[in-house]
């Protein structure tokens, strides 16, 4: 399962700027299923230019493969990438269900780019021998 966050005020569409997001919906998904893992809401959403407001949002995304938002500032992009979270900008009003279906279709077809990296078994996950075989390791 891969965790994906969506900057959304209503859990239906992506409708917020990352730094000013009032809430994130975090879903866990694979190629056939998706479930809501959590919804996190923030009180202070003013876009005041203070980097400190990003700390809680970035910490919340620990373990997420990506975050979808209407806009993401350069500083936030750098910090997210350093944490291993792929920032993805989409048009305001993009349906979360449609994005999930796109992700699931790509997972089923053989993911590429950041999604392939996120879908790869983590070290120590129990699938290390399968991962080694995929990389061409032999006895």
pLDDT in tens, 41-54: 987 545 555 456 78
Phi, psi dihedrals of residue 44, rounded to the nearest 5°: -90, 110
In a domain? residue 64: yes
For residue 127, the model assigns a pLDDT of 53
**pTM (global) more than 0.75:** yes
Distance CA 139, CA 131 (A): 14
Structural domain count of the chain: 1
In a domain, 67, yes or no: yes
Say which CATH number the domain at 37 has: 3.30.420.130
Q: Is residue 15 part of a domain?
A: yes
Q: How far apart are CA 46 and CA 32, in angstroms?
A: 37
129 found inside a domain: yes
Alpha-carbon span 96 to 98, nearest angstrom: 5
**Predicted local confidence at residue 55, as pLDDT:** 87
- Successive 10-residue mean pLDDT values, the chain, 139 residues: 96 94 95 94 61 82 96 94 96 97 94 90 55 58
Q: How many helices (H) and strands (E) does the chain have?
A: 5, 7
Looking at residue 63, its pLDDT comes to 93
CA distance 68 to 24: 9
Name every residue whose Cβ is closer than 8 Å to that of residue 39 and which is 6 or more positions away in sequence: 11, 23, 24, 25, 26
Residue 72 located in a structural domain: yes
Residue 126 sits in which domain range? 2-134
Residue 139 in any domain: the answer is no
What are the CA-CA distances from residue 81 to residues 32, 64, 76, 105, 118 (Å)? 27, 11, 8, 24, 13
pLDDT of residue 38: 93
Structure tokens at 75: 């500083």
pLDDT number for residue 44: 59
Res 114: pLDDT? 93
**What is the percent of the chain with per-residue pLDDT over 90, rounded to a whole number?**
67
């Amino acid at each position: 399962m891969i965790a994906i966050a969506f900057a959304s005020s209503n859990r239906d569409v992506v409708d917020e700027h990352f730094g000013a997001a009032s809430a994130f919906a975090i879903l866990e998904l694979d190629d056939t299923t998706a479930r809501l893992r959590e919804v996190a809401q923030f009180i202070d959403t003013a876009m005041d230019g203070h980097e400190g407001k990003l700390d809680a949002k970035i910490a919340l995304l620990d373990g997420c493969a990506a975050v979808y938002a209407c806009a993401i500032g350069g500083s936030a992009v750098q910090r997210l990438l350093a944490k291993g979270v792929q920032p993805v900008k989409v048009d305001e009003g993009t349906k979360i269900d449609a994005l999930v279906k796109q992700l699931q279709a790509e997972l089923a077809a053989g993911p590429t780019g950041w999604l392939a990296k996120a879908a790869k078994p983590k070290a120590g996950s129990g699938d290390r021998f399968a991962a080694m075989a995929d990389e061409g390791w032999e006895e």
